[in-house]
Chain A
């Protein structure tokens, strides 16, 4: 039966035992976790541990050596890009384009492009369509990049380090985005080091080290059962 949704009908992204080598370096040594729709899952790990690699693998931007990645029970196809999108830490548009041009491009190629939402977000971020991407500050570039992903009516959003290298006010704005209707009901995977800013925003944490998942847990459950914060768990796990 094609299109079977696994795990009792919960739509999710499943990463199953994924391995990936770059040359001789084994970056992923069997990574498995799930990220459910309607939840914010956070991949945490030190720099270079493979968080970005995992996201690129989910999006089929790099090949994997073994393992399987399923989105709503199925492998990724070209149509999946109307259902899932990736916001990497560099902007995915030509620098000489104006923001308006970028919108036109997205509208042209994606049926799931929501022009109204894009304009709403642009206003929220206090930017103009006539601004050229190459002339934007780092914080504003990050916002535009995020906008390009948020304005798509996709079920799943992958964000790589949405808080990296931008000033504290931009970070607050972006945190605002996470609690707004823009994220609601979607499945979100983010990677970050700034766990402090977002502990209250996330549902699930996946701790990654040395190419494997050390722990995968629901944040509120751990608080309730063990009275521990995410930082506490991290400390414990990394000390082993």
Chain B
């Protein structure tokens, strides 16, 4: 356990500098988005009301009030999120491949540590999860700050202060910040399983190189297929026989089996088949 934690700490520190950059970029760009969109709205409203001499009452009838929803759809707001997602997706692969890169034989050191090789696998997975949930937490922390800034710029009468569920309803946000706890678990649960399956697929490649890509790909498909089996059977064979709750439970079980499979196979590959 001890060495596992040390490895997690090690993996965390290796990526930390880049991670902090992502965090700062997100904060700065999102706040910029808030300020930009808020002031833009206020300017436009002022132009219409004072420029065209429209009364406020008429303005409110004809024009939409300002909400977080507007901000959240701004490019400046979601590009940093997209950036973070892309970087983390790449890092899911890079966290492994970086140990084999170039003249770097650090993989030798990792494989020669007096610890179960499974810990290497789990530590990298843990690090990825910490990074992902860290960013999610960051977003939750940013929202109240962003809302406050918005409130400073846009007068209350022009705003409608929506509950979070309402403004996180948009495509990309509803995925990363699902409305309900259940949806949150489903989405991130699947994400976690996906990370593990990807790790094991990567290990197939590292063990068998060219052939390994095929093995890994095949393994990935089998995992996805297995995972979808309850849903597919229910839809196509049984004509929607099961209740959603029952399907949910079956999916959780299927997901757990896939997860355990990924870890077991990953461990086997790391212990007996890996090559530097």
Which residues of A are at the interface with B, using a C-beta cutoff of 8 A? 56, 59-63, 78-82, 85-86, 88, 90-95, 105, 108-111
B109-165: which residues lie under 8 A (CB-CB) from chain A?
A: 109, 111-117
> Would A109 and B106 be within 8 Å (CB), given that A59-B112, A86-B112 are in contact?
no
Please list 8 pairs of residues, one from A and one from B, whose beta carbons are closer than 8 Å in the complex, sorted by A's number.
A61-B274, A63-B275, A78-B116, A90-B103, A93-B106, A94-B106, A108-B6, A109-B114
- How many of B's residues come within 8 Å of A, CB to CB? 22
Q: Compute how far the CA of A82 lies from the CA of B115 in the bound complex, rounded to whole angstroms.
A: 10
Verify A92–B114 contact, CB threshold 8 A: no
B61-110: which residues lie under 8 A (CB-CB) from chain A?
A: 103-106, 108-109
Verify B106–A63 contact, CB threshold 8 A: no
Residues in B neighbouring A93, C-beta threshold 8 A: 106, 109
Q: Compute how far the CA of A90 lies from the CA of B115 in the bound complex, rounded to whole angstroms.
A: 22
Interface centre among B108, B117, B275, B276 (most CB of A within 10 A): B108
Residues in A neighbouring B10, C-beta threshold 8 A: 105
Residues in B neighbouring A80, C-beta threshold 8 A: 114
Verify B272–A63 contact, CB threshold 8 A: yes
Q: Given A109-B113, A109-B115, 9 more contacts at CB 8 Å?
A: A61-B112, A63-B272, A81-B113, A81-B114, A86-B108, A93-B106, A94-B106, A109-B114, A111-B114
Which residues of B are at the interface with A, using a C-beta cutoff of 8 A? 3, 6, 10, 14, 103-106, 108-109, 111-117, 272-276
Verify A78–B115 contact, CB threshold 8 A: yes
Q: Compute how far the CA of A79 lies from the CA of B3 in the bound complex, rounded to whole angstroms.
A: 13
For B269, give the chain A residue with the smallest CB separation: A63
Verify B272–A92 contact, CB threshold 8 A: no
For B105, give the chain A residue with the smallest CB separation: A90
Interface centre among A63, A78, A94 (most CB of B within 10 A): A78
Verify B275–A92 contact, CB threshold 8 A: no
Residues in B neighbouring A86, C-beta threshold 8 A: 108, 112
Q: Compute how far the CA of A105 lies from the CA of B106 in the bound complex, rounded to whole angstroms.
A: 12
Verify B114–A56 contact, CB threshold 8 A: no
Verify B105–A85 contact, CB threshold 8 A: no
